[in-house]
Amino acid sequence: MKYVYFFGAGKADGTGEMKDLLGGKGAGLAEMTRIGLPVPAGFTITTEACDYYFKHGKKYPKELRDEVAKNLAKLEKLTGKKLGDADNPLLVSVRSGSARSMPGMMETILNLGLNNKSVPGIAKATKNDRFAYDAYRRFVQMYSSVVIGLPKEELEAKLRAMKSRLGVKDDTEVSADGWRDLVGEYKKYFKQKTGKDFPEDPTEQLWGAIGAVFESWMGEKAVTYRRVEKITGLLGTAVNVVQMVFGNTGEESGTGVCFTRDPSTGQKVFFGDFLLNAQGEDVVAGIRTPMHLDEMKARMPKVYAQLEKVRQTLEKHYTDMQDMEFTVENGTLYMLQTRTGKRSPTAAFQMAVDMANEKLITVEQALERIKPEDIERLFYPVLSSKLARHELANRKLAEGINAVPGAAVGKAVFTAEEAEQWAQRGEKVILVRRETSPEDVGGMYVAQGILTATGGKTSHAAVVARGWGKCCIVGAEKLDIDAETKKMSSNGRVVSQGDWITLDGGDGSVYTGEIELVRPEPPKAFETLMKWADKVRKLGVRTNADTPQDARVARGMGAEGIGLCRTEHMFFKDFEHPEKSRERQRAIQEMILADTPEARRTALAKLLPFQRRDFIGIFEAMDGFPVTVRLIDPPLHEFVPHDPAKQEELAKEIGISAEQVARRVDQLHEANPMLGFRGCRLCIIFPEILEMQVRAIIEAAIDCQKRGVKVLPEIMHPLTLDKKELKILETETRKVADAIIAEAKVKLEYLVGTMIELPRAALLAGQIAEVAEFFSFGTNDLTQTTMGLSRDDAGRFLPEYVDERKAGVFKADPFQSLDTEGVGLLMKWAIEQGRKTRPKLKVGICGEHGGDGDSVKFCHSLGMNYVSASPFRVAIARLAAAQAVIEEKQNSKKPKRAAKKR
Ligand code: PEP
Ligand code: MG
C-alpha cells in the first residue's frame, strides 16, 4: 500500500479527486501543482496511515518510515536543500488536512528543521539574523505546545515578559538577540518540564510533528466539531509536509488569505486580507491589522495580477468558491492551500443561484450545495459575534441537547404561570423547567426560549417549541433546577428567577447574562432556489400545525397541507382569544374528571365550539390543501393538575370536591404512561370524545365549504394496534361524520386513516390497509417503541451513544435522524404490505423526522407521498426532497460494480 504522495515541479502523484485519501489540503496541493499553479513542493501522508495508526495502538504502518525518508530525499533533491543542513537548510511545514474542512480544529507545525546548526544557515542564506531567530522561536514555541503539550499560555507569557524587558510593543520590534534569548528560555523551560533536551535531530522533529498531527484528529476540539457538523465516515487526517516559503523576509514579502467571492454576502468580489512581512499564523491570530486586497494591488501590482488569475483559474477549475492561502516571498507568489470556502447561509444561497445563472454549475448542483443548516440558520436569530470567545466561555452555565436552533435571551422564570404573567407585563422570559407538560404550553408560548433539564429531541418541550420555531434546549442534565426556590445552579453558579440568561439552540449552550442577538434576513436567492427545488422534487411537503396561526406561517414557508394537527394542543391555549384559554382548560379537565358518560358529554359539548373554530381557521389557512387531523392521543393525566393547591382551585371552579379531583387524578396515574391508556385506546373506551372531535372537524369543513373554501379533511387515529381496533374507530367515525353530512345535505369528501407508530401496526399493515385510507408514520413513537428507548428520557445517555469517542453506537440521534436500518425496515415493510392491499394508499410521515434532511431522503426512497415537518423546517424538507431526486438520478447513472471474481 502506498502511504505517501509527492507533489512538486508541475507533477503530482495525487489528484484533486483524492480528497478522501489525501485530505482536502493534500488533494488541493496536488491539483494546483498539476494545473501549473505556483505551489511549493512537498508530500502528503495519507488518511489511511492515520486510520492505521489509531487501529493499531498508535503505531505507524511499517513501510511508512521508509516512504517518508524516500520522499524527503526527493524533496531535498528538488529544492537543492537539506533538512538540518548548516549551509542551505530545508525547512518544512507539517500540516493536517482531512477530507472535510475542519478549520482550526487540528494542528500545524511550521519552520520544522531548525536547530542550532541550521539556524545560522538560514541567517546566512537570507542575510537576516533577526528573521532566522524569529523563525526558530516560532518553531520551538509551536513544537513545545503542539507536539509536547506544554501550556501555550506559559510560553506566551515568556514572550510578553521578554518584550516588556526590551521595552517594545510589537513583535516586529524585537531584535535578533531578543529572539535568540527567548529560544534559550523556551529550551530551558522545555528541559524543566520534560526532563529532556529540545530535539536537535530534524528527523526526530519530523516524526514528533507527524504524530502530533495524527493525535489532533482525536483531540477534543476535532471530535466535537465532527459531531456538531455531523461529519462521519472519514478515515482520519492526512499530513502534509511542505517546503516552507517565507512571507516575513521583508517588505517584498507577505502572506494572505482570500476568497474567490465574498463569503458573508456571496457577492462576486475578490475578498481577502494581506499582511506585509508576516507569516501565515499572524493573519489568523489577528496580531496586526491586515490590508485589504486593493491595497495589496497598489503595492504589488504584478503579484496581485497573478493572484487574480489564480482566483479565476481555481474557481473555474473547482466550480465553487475557493478559500485560498498564499505567501509572497521576495516578490514571488506561492499558493499554499485552496479549498471550498465556508460561507454564511446567505452567501450559500447567493452563490448557488449566481453560479447556476453564470452557468458555472447546473441548477441541480446549485440545489445540492445547500445544507439543511443553511436554511435553519437563515430564519433563526443567532448570537452576535461581538462578544469575544473567551468572554462567551466564561459565561457558559451549562450544555444541553440543541433541540430547536436559534438563540434566545430573557429572564429566567421557573413556572409556566409566572412566565405568562411576566410576559404580560412586557418582560422577555426564558421558561426553565425540569421537563414540560401540556399544562406549560401557555408559558412556553410566551417565552423567548425554553430550557429543560431532561428530555430528548422529541420530548414534549422539543416538539412543541419546534412547531413555533422557538429556541429550545433540553436534557441539560447538569442543571440543578429547583422550581420551589426558583433557582438553578450548575458548576457552582446560581441563577435566580429574574436573572438574564441566553440560550444558543445552535449548539445547546446556556449562558448567564444578556447577549446580543442578530436576526438574519432571508435573501432573494432563497426564494429562487426553493422554486427550483419545488420543480425537481416528487415528495409532497406538508406541515405539522395545531393552530390557524401555525398553519398560516407554514403556508408562507411553502407547506402543501397539514400532515398532523395534534388536537390535544388545542385544549390548553386559545391562540386567537387568549382570554378564553382558561375556559378551554376547564372544559377538558371537567371531561377527564367526569364519572359518567353524561357528565363527560356535557363537558365535551363545551369543548366543541372551541375545536370547531380552530378547525375552521386551519381549513381556511390551508385553502384547498389536505388537512390531517389526529384525534386525542396523550394520556389523560397530562391534562390535570398534580399539586393540591391547583387541584383545589380546579375543584372550586367546576363545582366538585377537592377529594374527588385528587381521587380521579390518582386513578389516572400510570406506571408507564407512554405504553398506557393513550392513543386511539382513549376513543375506544370513551367514544364520546371521538364523537365530539369528528363533529368539530366535519361541521367546520361544512361551514368552510359552504363559504367556498375548499376542504380536504383527513381524520387520523393515533397509535393503532391492528385492523380490528381501527375498524371499530373507523365505523364510529363514519357514522358520526356521515350523519352530519346527510343532515347538512351537502357532499363532503373525507378520508379515515391511521398513524403507524407501533411495530405491531407496521407488521400488520397489510390488514390495517383494508380499513385505513392512508398511513402516516409517527416515527417519534415508532422509534421509541421499536428501539425500546424512551423519547422523554433517552436524552440522558444518547449524547454518549452518538459520541464516536465514547460508546459511539449510533451515528446520529435516532429521534432526530431516522434509524433507517431498524425503524426504516418496518416502514418499508408496512408500505409494501399496505399498498399490496390498497395500491393507492396515501402514505406520509409526521414524526419529527419529516423535517430532517437525511430522513426525508429516505422517505423519498420508500416511495411515500409526502413528508410533514414543523413550519420552520418545511423549507428543509422541500430542499431535501429535491436533493433526493438528484441523488437518485446520480446513483442510477453510476456504473454498477462488477461482481468480485473469486
Ligand atoms: C409521532 O409519534 O411520531 C407523532 C407524530 O406523534 P406524537 O409526537 O404526538 O406522539
Ligand atoms: Mg405519536
| CA pair distance 438, 747, nearest whole angstrom | 36
Task: Report, as an integer, the average pLDDT of 793-820.
Answer: 90
Give me the phi and psi of 824, to 5 degrees please: -60, -35
| 404: Cβ contacts below 8 Å, ≥ 6 apart | 462, 465, 466, 469, 470, 471, 472, 505
Task: Report, as an integer, the average pLDDT of 32-61.
Answer: 97
Longest Cα–Cα distance in the chain: 103
Ligand whose nearest atom lies closest to the CA of 564? 1
Are the CB atoms for 266 and 53 separated by under 8 Å?
no
| CA pair distance 262, 289, nearest whole angstrom | 19
Are the CB atoms for 212 and 107 separated by under 8 Å?
yes
Q: Say which residue, 248 or 289, is predicted with more confidence.
A: 248
Residue ranges of alpha helices (H) inside 167-268 are: 176-194, 202-217, 220-228
Look at 495-504, 512-521, 747-756 and tell me which has the smallest mean pLDDT.
512-521
Alpha carbon nearest to ligand 1 atom 8, residue: 780
Q: Take residue 642 and report the three cell numbers written for it.
A: 398534580
Task: Report, as an integer, the average pLDDT of 601-619.
Answer: 96
| CA pair distance 697, 54, nearest whole angstrom | 60
Atom nearest to 779 CA in ligand 1: 3
Q: How many residues can be counted in the chain? A: 902
Q: Give the residue among 62, 66, 61 at the shortest CA–CA distance from 49.
A: 61
pLDDT surpasses 90 at 127: no
Task: Output the CA 818–ligand 2 centroid distance in Å.
Answer: 15
Which of 457, 458, 680 has most ligand 1 atoms within 8 Å of its beta carbon, as the pocket-test mutant? 458
Alpha-carbon distances, residue 888 vs 231, 340, 362, 779, 831 (angstroms): 22, 24, 16, 23, 19
Residue type present at position 368: E
Which of 436, 542, 633, 638 has most ligand 1 atoms within 8 Å of its beta carbon, as the pocket-test mutant? 633
Task: Output the CA 780–ligand 1 centroid distance in Å.
Answer: 5
| Bridge-based pairing state of the strands 401-404 and 472-474 | antiparallel
pLDDT surpasses 80 at 495: yes
What is the predicted pLDDT for the residue at 896? 59
pLDDT surpasses 50 at 470: yes
Are the CB atoms for 693 and 611 separated by under 8 Å?
yes
- Kindly tell me the sign of the dihedral angle through the C-alpha atoms of 506, 507, 508, 512: negative
Atom nearest to 847 CA in ligand 1: 3
DSSP string, 190-218: HHHHHSSPPP--HHHHHHHHHHHHHHHHT
What is the predicted pLDDT for the residue at 104? 72
Q: Give the residue among 518, 544, 536, 474 at the shortest CA–CA distance from 872.
A: 544
| CA pair distance 39, 26, nearest whole angstrom | 12
pLDDT surpasses 50 at 900: no
Residue type present at position 748: L
What is the predicted pLDDT for the residue at 899? 43
Cell numbers 406506571 correspond to: 671
Are the CB atoms for 433 and 481 separated by under 8 Å?
yes
Are the CB atoms for 647 and 604 separated by under 8 Å?
no
Angle at 277 between CA 271 and CA 280, to 5 degrees: 60
Give me the phi and psi of 450, to 5 degrees please: -130, 135
Q: In what order do the strands lie in the sheet with 108-112?
A: 11-12, 4-8, 42-45, 238-243, 92-97, 108-112
Atom nearest to 848 CA in ligand 1: 3
Which of 543, 846, 852 has most ligand 1 atoms within 8 Å of its beta carbon, as the pocket-test mutant? 846
What is the predicted pLDDT for the residue at 439? 74
Atom nearest to 780 CA in ligand 1: 3
| CA pair distance 692, 597, nearest whole angstrom | 13
| Bridge-based pairing state of the strands 82-83 and 89-90 | parallel
Which pLDDT band, with edges at 50, 70 and 90, does 264 fall under? confident
Tell me the HSE value of 776 on the side-chain side, using a 13 A CA sphere.
33
Task: Report, as an integer, the average pLDDT of 897-902.
Answer: 42
551: helix, coil or strand?
helix
Helix-helix angle 658-668:581-593, to 10 degrees = 70
Ligand whose nearest atom lies closest to the CA of 776? 1
636-671 residue pLDDT tens: 988 898 889 989 999 998 888 999 999 999 999 999
| CA pair distance 427, 420, nearest whole angstrom | 10
What is the predicted pLDDT for the residue at 51? 97
Ligand whose nearest atom lies closest to the CA of 792? 1
Residue type present at position 513: G
Task: Output the CA 459–ligand 1 centroid distance in Å.
Answer: 10
Cell numbers 365549504 correspond to: 705
93: helix, coil or strand?
strand
Task: Output the CA 692–ligand 2 centroid distance in Å.
Answer: 21
Alpha carbon nearest to ligand 1 atom 4, residue: 778
Which of 755, 792, 815, 817 has most ligand 1 atoms within 8 Å of its beta carbon, as the pocket-test mutant? 755
* Cβ burial 766-793 (10 Å sphere, 16+ → b, else e): bbbbebbbbbbbbbbbbbbbbbebbbbb
Task: Output the CA 666–ligand 2 centroid distance in Å.
Answer: 24
Which residues lie with the beta carbon below 6 Å from any ligand 1 atom?
A: 463, 564, 566, 633, 757, 778-781, 846-847
**Single pTM value for the model:** 0.81
Which pLDDT band, with edges at 50, 70 and 90, does 285 fall under? low
Dihedral, 812, 814, 820, 824 alpha carbons, nearest 10: 180
Atom nearest to 776 CA in ligand 1: 5
840-895 residue pLDDT tens: 999 999 999 999 999 999 999 999 999 999 998 999 999 999 999 999 999 998 76
Residue type present at position 626: P
Ligand whose nearest atom lies closest to the CA of 544? 1
Helix-helix angle 47-55:19-34, to 10 degrees = 160
Task: Report, as an integer, the average pLDDT of 557-581.
Answer: 90
Q: Give the residue among 804, 897, 895, 818 at the shortest CA–CA distance from 854.
A: 818
pLDDT surpasses 80 at 284: no
Residue type present at position 19: K
Alpha carbon nearest to ligand 1 atom 10, residue: 781
Angle at 380 between CA 377 and CA 385, to 5 degrees: 75
| CA pair distance 693, 699, nearest whole angstrom | 10
Catalytic residues: 460, 846
Alpha-carbon distances, residue 517 vs 408, 468, 673 (angstroms): 8, 18, 39
- List beta partners, residue 98: none
Alpha carbon nearest to ligand 1 atom 9, residue: 566
Are the CB atoms for 191 and 185 separated by under 8 Å?
no
Are the CB atoms for 352 and 529 separated by under 8 Å?
yes
Task: Output the CA 783–ligand 2 centroid distance in Å.
Answer: 10
| CA pair distance 314, 29, nearest whole angstrom | 12
Dihedral, 416, 421, 427, 431 alpha carbons, nearest 10: 0
Task: Output the CA 418–ligand 2 centroid distance in Å.
Answer: 29
529-564 residue pLDDT tens: 999 999 999 999 999 999 999 999 999 999 999 999
What is the predicted pLDDT for the residue at 901? 36
Atom nearest to 458 CA in ligand 1: 8
- Tally Cβ neighbours within 10 Å of residue 803: 16
| CA pair distance 711, 845, nearest whole angstrom | 21
Percent pLDDT > 90 in the chain is 75
What is the predicted pLDDT for the residue at 693? 97
Give me the phi and psi of 629, to 5 degrees please: -110, 125
